Amino acid sequence: IEETLVLVKPDGVARGLTGAVLARIEAKGYALVDIRLVEPDRDVLAAHYAEHEGKPFYEPLIEFMLSGPSVAIRLAGNRVIEGFRSLAGTTDPTTAAPGTIRGDFGRDWGLKVQQNLVHGSDSPESAARELGIWFA
């Protein structure tokens, strides 16, 4: 069975949307394998976001992810990687489709980094790598 890493990012936790995200995951029928509240340090975030190092939004992204706790979820199910990304919606919350987590709950707050509530691994390789980082 496929697994993925889902994060409810600091904006989602701070806004009290963890339950709403979990409700959608459970309604879709995916299985919670593990879940924890995490306060990642800079090393964890640098590993997680290694692919974005050097991009203009990288530092604001790291600072944002350090701004408060995230909820890390190990999620399982057939095709759960693409399934959760479909639930999440596209990266930019302003234009993410209504009905998705980002589309329903996200918006542009005029900040240096897009705050889009959740993360989901984008491939089996990313999922294995990221689960090893957050559930070490």
Q: Active-site residue numbers?
A: 119
Q: What is the CA radius of gyration of the chain?
A: 14
Binder of ligand GTP out of 91, 94, 95, 123 (CB under 6 A): 91
Residue type, 106: G
Q: Is 114 in the site for ligand GTP (CB under 6 A)?
A: yes
Residue recorded with tokens 């057939």:
78
3-state SS class at 122: coil
| Nearest residue (CB) to ligand GTP, 74 versus 119 | 119
Which residue lies nearer to ligand GTP by CB, 61 or 71? Answer: 61
Tell the residue number behind the tokens 């975030």, with chain if given: 45
Q: Which of 20, 113, 129, 135 binds ligand GTP (CB under 6 A)?
A: 113
Report which DSSP code applies to 79.
T
With CB under 6 A as the contact rule, the residue among 35, 47, 57, 69 that binds ligand GTP is 57
Q: Is the dihedral of CA 75, 79, 82, 85 positive or negative?
A: negative
Task: In angstroms, give the least distance from the CB of 58 to ligand GTP.
Answer: 8
> Alpha-carbon distance 95 to 128, whole Å?
29
Residues that bind ligand GTP in the complex, under the rule CB under 6 A: 57, 61, 91, 113-114, 116, 119-120, 122
